[in-house]
A and B are shown apart, each in its own frame.
Chain A
């Protein structure tokens, strides 16, 4: 019954607020009129009676307000009042507010950055239409996506699961509009590429499968939107224009839509040409060789109704067909599907694992911040217990007081969330614009901030506000106003584990996890920077040239390369110079080939003795790269076509095939085409495909026997890099002014392979610092609070003759114990967490005495730093003043 009446009241107020207001106004008006009637009857004139009636009634607005409140259910009004009150209260303690907002801004900022990354890389669909059904085909245990062109054709024509299967490869090409050649990234695409991806041209047309009529039959270029804007100023008349790619004429036929940046997330594509024109772009036609990987990636949309599992079994049956029909080649097996934007599982797997781990750590940071703020709020509630008790005594409901405290917490959380989001937006924008590798401006980290990021930041802010706002609730609910007002803010009956201390221990453990993982990562990075690559990047300049781009063919290539080496070698101060086709660690270009023992007759790939990486180098390369020759000799200019085929192999290769380094010299092995190769030298092992790989076999051929038009000239010199680079450029210009080249130091070149571990280290380092900061403030707060609360007790002890050390023990013992306990727990957890890191950061191992002692020392330092001021305060106690004051 009462409930019904209550609901009716609230309902009326809520649904018909205007009518309520009118009725109230009319009722009060009627009251005053009635009173005026009575007064008029007692002899006053009407005007005077009405005036008197109004005066007698009193403060009309105030009563109306009280009446409104009596009706209840003023959610919005109460909220507004709570907010006003909270702002007033927070303004009174700006230090507290600032610290709280700052702490939250940092942790929510970190969370929204990590989430934005996770969102852009993993969660967010790509800009390609219907991307939910778009898959890349990966194979083998390593989830590699590359394949040979004939294998691709079989996959394309024999599968029944894909609605068009496209392929592409990436190559650098000299793009010449008639003024000067620029080096561009060319996406060599299958003819059906744009149709299979369901893209429509922005200007002009795309090439189609029908344009492919054999090698070099489709000299067409499609420009990306941004390339078109940057190089042709968005001129629509560009369609039909003939440009030169590596000196071959190509016709611009269209521009791709602005939202399409290419398949891969990290590198925007610039131009696209048909893959059938591979020979013109790369200088060699491998479209008919099943043994050579011409295709970087194969992608397609699944047909409607086909599940990924069905597609995989379809692909595997094609794999079985390939193995049966081409037993000599290594046919792809163990197919699976992966999201194309991060090159499937090959690259996407580690990225996902790392970002998930980072998100977890960022979540821990936020949790630590909440624990921190929760204990701050509890301490504040204790300090304010007199005020709270007073309000309780004046008749405020406990729910009302709790609501006010919670409003304060949420207000702080929202402010912190807004500040954090704002800061992270700025950082993300910078990250988006950042070109970490100056040589490849197309390589960048595309971060899209969409509504999901805002929603997550807001939700995190509200959640953390509730979380740390609720911590003091129990204390407020247990407040006995009578006791507090009588005896001041003093807790009676301490529990064994007050919630504050538990929170602090958890927080310290979390911070120790962060400190541990960041130390592991930093240590791993340092090690990978100073590990033995198999060459010495310091004091080496590189000059990248691709003679194919300048139109060199056949013997002219090697002749020109020899001239370049001679010219560069004559620069004063140059100790040695040599060239290699593709630098080790240069990424996707690492070639490998099957090799066979000399006595193997059946040269099918399943009989291969090893799969060493293949490099083609000039005489002088090992010297210039500082690759140590362990045994035998290096190449000379006499290792040419007329001489017997020779190779220099690495230590790993020698031991694998011949048992030892010394036994290898003078021995032979066979290439897949049956050619016998003599081993003339053995060099040290190095890193070839990635920094984290185990020792791999590798072999080096002389360029005179195995020519390559792509080449990086390595120049070793102690001269100033800028001067040297200028000298190298002028040498090249004097030999051929039209040859595009890129000069940089070997250290700069290594930035790309080192990029993932560097990013991981920065991210973890930042999180570790934040963790450390949070634990400092947390321990400081706890220690300061416990010293402050026990000042009188400590004073009495001092007066009774306690030693300083005993005082310190009493004041800070608990904080130190918590620190030790939390750190130990965090260290153990951190060691487990670091296993995830080992996937990304080279040689990241927590079983490292340096890391272990580092963490212990760091946490101890944090403890000293945080307890320093409270300890000083405890030591400087003057019992006399203290006791007098009380």
Chain B
């Protein structure tokens, strides 16, 4: 896969928040959604998702409830809390600033200095 990128530490939580912000999801759904919105560029080891998910739940950014999935299986669905929405917004802005700064820094040419 040519478009595959290395996941930076700490970004998984942000991705989970983003994925869930688009609509309540169960664990497997979160994985699929991340793959989908990143254009299959960011792949996460399936089991590694859960420690991160639980951590985010513990921080009060997500809440969980049991429900029925599309293919009729019992699954735990996650949705964003108010705190989670705020955190997503803050982190998105922070990320954008960092990305912009990194982008312009790396794009710098010798004659521009």
Q: A1-B83, A70-B51 are in contact. Are A56 and B76 (CB under 8 A)?
A: no
Q: Are A63 and B76 in contact (CB under 8 A)?
A: no
Give CA–CA (A27, B25) in the complex, Å: 13
Residues from chain A with Cβ under 8 Å of B76 in the complex: 23, 27, 30
Give CA–CA (A4, B63) in the complex, Å: 12
Tell me, rounded to whole Å, the shortest Cβ–Cβ distance linking B60 to chain A: 3
Smallest CB gap from B45: residue in A: A58
Task: Pick the 4 closest A-B CB pairs, nearest first.
Answer: A5-B60, A2-B60, A63-B47, A66-B51
Secondary structure at chain A's binding surface: helix, strand, loop or mixed? helix
Tell me, rounded to whole Å, the shortest Cβ–Cβ distance linking B86 to chain A: 10
Let me know if B14 is at the binding interface, CB within 8 A.
no
Let me know if A832 is at the binding interface, CB within 8 A.
no
Q: Are A63 and B48 in contact (CB under 8 A)?
A: yes
Residues of B6-59 whose CB lies within 8 A of A: 26-29, 45-48, 50-55, 57-59
Give CA–CA (A72, B58) in the complex, Å: 8
Q: Are B83 and A58 in contact (CB under 8 A)?
A: no
Tell me, rounded to whole Å, the shortest Cβ–Cβ distance linking A28 to chain B: 7
Tell me, rounded to whole Å, the shortest Cβ–Cβ distance linking A250 to chain B: 83
A28 contacts which of B50, B59, B60, B69 (Cβ < 8 Å)? B50
Residues from chain B with Cβ under 8 Å of A64 in the complex: 50
Q: Are A26 and B74 in contact (CB under 8 A)?
A: yes
Residues from chain A with Cβ under 8 Å of B28 in the complex: 30-31, 34-35
- New A-B contacts (15) at CB < 8 Å, excluding given A31-B50, A63-B50: A6-B59, A26-B74, A27-B50, A30-B74, A30-B76, A34-B28, A34-B69, A57-B47, A58-B48, A59-B47, A60-B47, A62-B47, A64-B50, A67-B54, A70-B54
Residues from chain B with Cβ under 8 Å of A63 in the complex: 47-48, 50-51
Q: A1-B81, A9-B58, A70-B55 are in contact. Are A58 and B46 (CB under 8 A)?
A: yes
Tell me, rounded to whole Å, the shortest Cβ–Cβ distance linking A180 to chain B: 85
Query: CB-defined interface of A437-479 with B at 8 Å, one 1/0 digit per residue?
Result: 0000000000000000000000000000000000000000000
Give CA–CA (A31, B46) in the complex, Å: 9
16 contacts between A and B (CB under 8 A): A2-B83, A6-B58, A6-B59, A27-B27, A30-B26, A30-B75, A30-B76, A31-B27, A31-B28, A33-B73, A34-B29, A34-B71, A60-B47, A63-B47, A63-B50, A71-B58
- The residue among B47, B74, B83 with the most chain A CB atoms within 10 A of its own CB is B47
Tell me, rounded to whole Å, the shortest Cβ–Cβ distance linking A760 to chain B: 62
- The residue among A1, A6, A30 with the most chain B CB atoms within 10 A of its own CB is A30
Residues from chain B with Cβ under 8 Å of A1 in the complex: 60, 81-83
Let me know if A69 is at the binding interface, CB within 8 A.
yes
Tell me, rounded to whole Å, the shortest Cβ–Cβ distance linking B16 to chain A: 12
Let me know if A598 is at the binding interface, CB within 8 A.
no
Residues from chain A with Cβ under 8 Å of B82 in the complex: 1
Residues from chain A with Cβ under 8 Å of B69 in the complex: 30, 34
Let me know if A334 is at the binding interface, CB within 8 A.
no
Smallest CB gap from B74: residue in A: A30
Give CA–CA (A4, B57) in the complex, Å: 11
Q: Are B58 and A5 in contact (CB under 8 A)?
A: yes
Give CA–CA (A225, B94) in the complex, Å: 87
B26 contacts which of A34, A69, A72 (Cβ < 8 Å)? A34
Q: Are A37 and B48 in contact (CB under 8 A)?
A: no
Give CA–CA (A33, B51) in the complex, Å: 19
Task: Give the B interface residue count (CB, 8 A).
Answer: 28
Smallest CB gap from B87: residue in A: A2
Residues from chain B with Cβ under 8 Å of A9 in the complex: 57-58
Query: CB-defined interface of A1-26 with B at 8 Å, one 1/0 digit per residue?
Result: 11111100100000000000001001
Q: Are B60 and A56 in contact (CB under 8 A)?
A: no
Q: A4-B60, A27-B27 are in contact. Are A56 and B46 (CB under 8 A)?
A: yes
Smallest CB gap from A34: residue in B: B28
Tell me, rounded to whole Å, the shortest Cβ–Cβ distance linking A223 to chain B: 73
Task: Give the A interface residue count (CB, 8 A).
Answer: 31
Tell me, rounded to whole Å, the shortest Cβ–Cβ distance linking A720 to chain B: 87
B71 contacts which of A3, A5, A37 (Cβ < 8 Å)? A37
Give CA–CA (A3, B58) in the complex, Å: 9
Tell me, rounded to whole Å, the shortest Cβ–Cβ distance linking B24 to chain A: 15
Q: Are B59 and A2 in contact (CB under 8 A)?
A: yes
Give CA–CA (A60, B51) in the complex, Å: 11
Residues from chain A with Cβ under 8 Å of B73 in the complex: 30, 33-34, 37
Tell me, rounded to whole Å, the shortest Cβ–Cβ distance linking A309 to chain B: 63
Give CA–CA (A33, B69) in the complex, Å: 11
Give CA–CA (A1, B53) in the complex, Å: 18
Give CA–CA (A181, B71) in the complex, Å: 103
Residues from chain A with Cβ under 8 Å of B27 in the complex: 27-28, 30-31
Smallest CB gap from A65: residue in B: B51
- The residue among A3, A23, A57, A72 with the most chain B CB atoms within 10 A of its own CB is A57
Give CA–CA (A5, B58) in the complex, Å: 6
Tell me, rounded to whole Å, the shortest Cβ–Cβ distance linking B99 to chain A: 24
Query: CB-defined interface of B62-95 with A at 8 Å, one 1/0 digit per residue?
Result: 0100000101011110000111000000000000
Query: CB-defined interface of A22-64 with B at 8 Å, one 1/0 digit per residue?
Result: 0100111011011101000000000000000000111110111
Residues from chain A with Cβ under 8 Å of B74 in the complex: 26, 30
Tell me, rounded to whole Å, the shortest Cβ–Cβ distance linking A585 to chain B: 78
Q: A26-B74, A30-B26, A67-B54 are in contact. Are A6 and B46 (CB under 8 A)?
A: no
Query: CB-defined interface of A60-95 with B at 8 Å, one 1/0 digit per residue?
Result: 101110110111100000000000000000000000
Give CA–CA (A27, B48) in the complex, Å: 14
Smallest CB gap from A9: residue in B: B58
Residues from chain A with Cβ under 8 Å of B47 in the complex: 28, 57-60, 62-63
- The residue among A33, A62, A70 with the most chain B CB atoms within 10 A of its own CB is A70
Give CA–CA (A717, B59) in the complex, Å: 94
Residues from chain B with Cβ under 8 Å of A35 in the complex: 28, 46
Give CA–CA (A58, B54) in the complex, Å: 17
Give CA–CA (A69, B28) in the complex, Å: 21
Give CA–CA (A570, B99) in the complex, Å: 119
Give CA–CA (A15, B52) in the complex, Å: 23
Give CA–CA (A588, B48) in the complex, Å: 84
A70 contacts which of B45, B52, B81 (Cβ < 8 Å)? B52
Q: Are A27 and B58 in contact (CB under 8 A)?
A: no
Q: A30-B74, A31-B46 are in contact. Are A69 and B60 (CB under 8 A)?
A: no
Residues from chain A with Cβ under 8 Å of B53 in the complex: 67
Tell me, rounded to whole Å, the shortest Cβ–Cβ distance linking B94 to chain A: 19
Give CA–CA (A58, B46) in the complex, Å: 7
Give CA–CA (A34, B26) in the complex, Å: 10
Tell me, rounded to whole Å, the shortest Cβ–Cβ distance linking A11 to chain B: 12
Residues from chain B with Cβ under 8 Å of A66 in the complex: 50-51
Q: Are A67 and B46 in contact (CB under 8 A)?
A: no
Give CA–CA (A66, B48) in the complex, Å: 9
Give CA–CA (A426, B16) in the complex, Å: 63
Tell me, rounded to whole Å, the shortest Cβ–Cβ distance linking B66 to chain A: 8
Residues from chain B with Cβ under 8 Å of A31 in the complex: 26-28, 46, 50, 75
Give CA–CA (A448, B57) in the complex, Å: 56
Tell me, rounded to whole Å, the shortest Cβ–Cβ distance linking A44 to chain B: 15
Smallest CB gap from B56: residue in A: A70
Give CA–CA (A113, B81) in the complex, Å: 61
Q: Are A67 and B51 in contact (CB under 8 A)?
A: yes
Smallest CB gap from B69: residue in A: A34
Residues from chain B with Cβ under 8 Å of A3 in the complex: 60
Give CA–CA (A6, B54) in the complex, Å: 11
Give CA–CA (A42, B39) in the complex, Å: 20
Smallest CB gap from B28: residue in A: A34
Give CA–CA (A684, B71) in the complex, Å: 115
Give CA–CA (A63, B58) in the complex, Å: 16
Smallest CB gap from B71: residue in A: A37
Give CA–CA (A71, B59) in the complex, Å: 9
Residues from chain B with Cβ under 8 Å of A69 in the complex: 51
Smallest CB gap from B30: residue in A: A31
Smallest CB gap from B76: residue in A: A27
Give CA–CA (A361, B9) in the complex, Å: 57
Residues from chain A with Cβ under 8 Å of B58 in the complex: 5-6, 9, 70-72
Give CA–CA (A59, B48) in the complex, Å: 9
Give CA–CA (A64, B50) in the complex, Å: 8
